[in-house]
Amino acid sequence: MLLKRIHALILFAFLLVGYNLQPAAYAEETKIPQDSVDFLTKTGQALADIAEAVKPAIVNISASRTEKITESPMDPFFNDPFFRRFFGDRFRHPEAPRERKSFSLGSGVIVTSDGYILTNTHVVRDSDKIKVLLSDKREFTGKVVGNDPKTEISVIKIDAKDLSTIPMGDSDKLKVGELVLAVGNPFGLNQTVTMGIVSAVGRANVGIAEYEDFIQTDAAINPGNSGGALVNVRGELVGINTAIFSTTGGYQGIGFAIPSSMVKVIMTSLIEKGKVIRGWLGVSIQAITPELAQQFKLKKDVGTLVADVIEGSPAEKAGLMRGDVIIEFDGKEVNEPFQLRNMVANTPPGETREIKIIREGEMQTLHLTISELPVETEKVSPEYQNALTGVTVQNLTPDIYKQLQLPDKLRGVVVANIESGSPAEASLLPGDVILEINRKAVANTDDYKNIVSEIKPEKDILLLIFRKGSTIFLAISGK
For residue range 330-378, list pLDDT tens digits in order. 998 898 888 898 899 889 899 999 999 988 888 899 999 999 887 654 4
For CA atoms 418, 424, 429, 432, the dihedral sign is negative
% the chain with pLDDT above 70: 80
Question: What is the band of 168 on the pLDDT scale with cuts at 50, 70, 90?
Answer: very high
* Residue 436 pLDDT: 92
Highest mean pLDDT among 90-94, 307-311, 470-474: 470-474
Per-residue confidence (pLDDT) for residue 72, from 0 to 100: 47
Could you tell me which residue, 147 or 302, shows the higher pLDDT?
147
Chain-wide mean pLDDT for the chain? 80
d(CA 345, CA 370): 9
Q: Do domains 17-70+98-276 and 279-372 have the same CATH topology?
A: no
Mean pLDDT confidence for 113-126 = 90
Residue 35: CB partners within 8 Å, gap ≥ 6? none
The whole-angstrom separation of Cα 398 and Cα 406 is 10
pLDDT band at 135 (very low <50, low <70, confident <90, very high): confident
Neighbours of 359 (CB within 10 A): 17
Mean pLDDT computed over 452-456: 86
Contacts of 138 (CB under 8 A, 6+ apart): 160
Q: In this structure, are residues 357 and 412 in contact, taking their beta carbons and an 8 Å threshold? A: no
Phi/psi at 226 (5° precision): -55, 130
8 A C-beta contact, residue 414 and residue 393 = yes
Helix (H, G, I), strand (E, B) or coil at 475: strand
Question: Which of 258, 263, 260 lies closest to 243, judged by CA?
Answer: 258
For residue 462, give the H/E element and its range: strand 461-467
Largest CA distance in the chain: 111
Architecture of domain 17-70+98-276: Beta Barrel (2.40)
Angstrom distance (rounded) from CA 399 to CA 396: 8
Q: What CA–CA distance (Å, rounded) separates 184 from 244?
A: 14
Question: What is residue 126's predicted lDDT score, i.e. its pLDDT?
Answer: 79
54-63: burial string, b at 16+ Cβ within 10 Å, e else:
bbbbbbbbbb
The model's pLDDT over 206-244, given as tens digits with 9 standing for 90+, comes to: 767 778 788 898 888 877 788 889 999 999 999 999 876
Residue 11 pLDDT more than 60?
no
pLDDT band with cut points at 50, 70 and 90 for residue 17: very low
Question: Which range, of 69-73, 244-248, 396-400, 459-463, averages the lowest pLDDT?
Answer: 69-73
d(C-alpha 35, C-alpha 357), whole Å: 54
- Top pLDDT among 475 and 12 is at 475
Residue 417 one-letter amino acid: N
Q: Where are the domains of the chain?
A: 17-70+98-276, 279-372, 391-476
Q: Which residue, among 470, 439, 463, has the nearest Cα to 388 in the 3D structure? A: 463
Homologous superfamily of domain range 391-476? PDZ domain (2.30.42.10)
For residue 254, the Cα-to-chain-centroid distance in whole angstroms is 17
Instruction: Report the pLDDT value the prediction gives residue 376, as an integer from 0 to 100.
Output: 54
The confidence score (pLDDT) of residue 285 equals 85
Bridge partners, residue 264, by sequence: none
> Residue 39: pLDDT above 90?
no
Report CA-CA distances (Å) from 65 to 103, 107, 119, 124, 125. 6, 17, 17, 9, 9
Q: Report residue 68's pLDDT band, with 50, 70 and 90 as the boundaries.
A: low
- Our CA dihedral for 422, 424, 428, 432, rounded to 10 degrees, sits at -80
Asked if residues 415 and 434 have their Cβ atoms less than 8 Å apart, the reply is yes
Which fold would CATH assign to domain 279-372?
A: Pdz3 Domain (2.30.42)
Angstrom CA distances, 48 to 186, 188, 194, 219, 401, stand at 19, 22, 11, 16, 52
Q: Residue 368 is which amino acid?
A: L
* Contact by Cβ (8 Å): 141, 130: yes
Burial of 150 (0-12, 13-18, 19+ CB in 10 A): middle
Alpha-carbon distance of 385 to 274, in angstroms, equals 37
Which letter does DSSP use for residue 103 in this model? E
What is the spatial distance between Cα 465 and Cα 415, in angstroms, rounded to a whole number? 10
pLDDT surpassing 50 at residue 16: no
Nearest to 204 by CA among 220, 217, 189, 215: 215
What is d(CA 430, CA 394) in angstroms, rounded to the nearest whole number?
11
Among 407, 398, 377, 375, which Cα is nearest to 284's? Answer: 398
Count other Cβ atoms within 10 Å, centred on residue 405: 10
pLDDT for the residue 302 = 80
Q: What is the pLDDT of residue 244?
A: 64
Can you tell me the mean pLDDT for 20-49?
73
132 pairs with which residues across the strands? 61, 140
pLDDT beyond 60 at 476: yes
pLDDT digits (tens, 9 = 90+) for 303-323: 888 888 888 889 999 999 988
Tell me the pairing of strands 192-203 and 433-437: unpaired
